[in-house]
Amino acid sequence: MRKKIVAGNWKMNLNFDEGQKLTTEIVNMYKDENIKDVTVVLNPPFVHLFPVKKLVGNTPNLFLGGQNCSDKASGAFTGETSATMLKSFGAEYVIIGHSERREYFKESNELLTAKVKQALENGLTPIFCCGEPLEIREAGTHEDYVKNQLTESLFGLSDEDFAKIVIAYEPIWAIGTGKTASSDQAQEMHKALRDHLAGKYGQEAADNTSILYGGSCNPGNAKDIFSKADVDGGLIGGASLKSRDFVDIIKSF
Ligand SMILES: O=C[C@H](O)COP(=O)(O)O
């Protein structure tokens, strides 16, 4: 059975004290409000990983993830962070292929294939992001565009490795804009992606793959979006920086 997952992507926000405060609040609410059956992943900037891990401790179902990792194992790559390092600092997940990395850092599907490989080799669960820009949505070719992102970066994986992948569908036009996809638009794409995955890895594997929605998700719309059959949770940006909002989203299942 696939997991319900809510991941918070802090992006490049919060200083040390702010990160500590946010984490402390989330951990306390998470425990006090008796949250069950949802896997929660905090994805702070790299420098926060160690102190955030100390606060999270062994809280059940509360995990840490990176926002990116290098496609290389180690060596003279100034400014990079490897999957091995993330794992050694307590991360279990890593976001790969976020649209901001694809756009601002020119990350190609080919590069992302190498990052996925690094993550898997180091025991990290990739949260693999995909999603179309507005012009592709308006041209009506969004399903093919997003399916192609999966084909190019994931379809070389073995069945065993594919079983470890989490997908996050994030329409770029909905990220940070306050303009969320409707729950029907999310469901339509998630179903199309699941069918696409089934065509390659079989129906059972596709049915076991968690597909998260991301893009202006908030406590007001999460319940509707998460109620859809093929939506297994969310990748949350802005709202993950506010403890009350983030925990309310987690509680929207
Ligand atoms: O990684 C998170 C997504 O980019 C969504 O960001 P947002 O919730 O601020 O729209």
Does 10 show up as a binding residue in the annotation? yes
Q: Where are the domains of the chain?
A: 5-250
| Rounded CA separation 245/71 (Å) | 33
Task: Provide the CATH topology of domain 5-250.
Answer: TIM Barrel (3.20.20)
Does 90 show up as a binding residue in the annotation? no
Residue 170 known to be catalytic: yes
Residue 18 known to be catalytic: no
Going by alpha carbons, the residue nearest to atom 6 of ligand 1 is 237
Express each pLDDT in 166-205 by its tens digit.
999 999 999 888 778 899 999 999 999 999 999 999 999 9
The residue written with tokens 């076991």 in the block is 208
Q: Judge whether 220 and 199 are in contact, CB under 8 Å.
A: no
ipTM for the assembly: 0.99
This model's pTM is above 0.90: yes
| Rounded CA separation 139/214 (Å) | 21
Residue 171: CB within 6 Å of ligand 1? no
Express each pLDDT in 87-141 by its tens digit.
999 999 999 999 999 999 999 999 999 999 999 999 999 999 999 999 999 999 9
Q: Ligand 1: distance of its center to the CA of 76 in Å?
A: 32
| Rounded CA separation 224/100 (Å) | 26
Task: Give the per-residue pLDDT at 179.
Answer: 79
Express each pLDDT in 202-223 by its tens digit.
999 999 999 999 999 999 999 9
What radius of gyration do the chain's Cα atoms show? 17
Residue 26 pLDDT class (50, 70, 90 cuts): very high
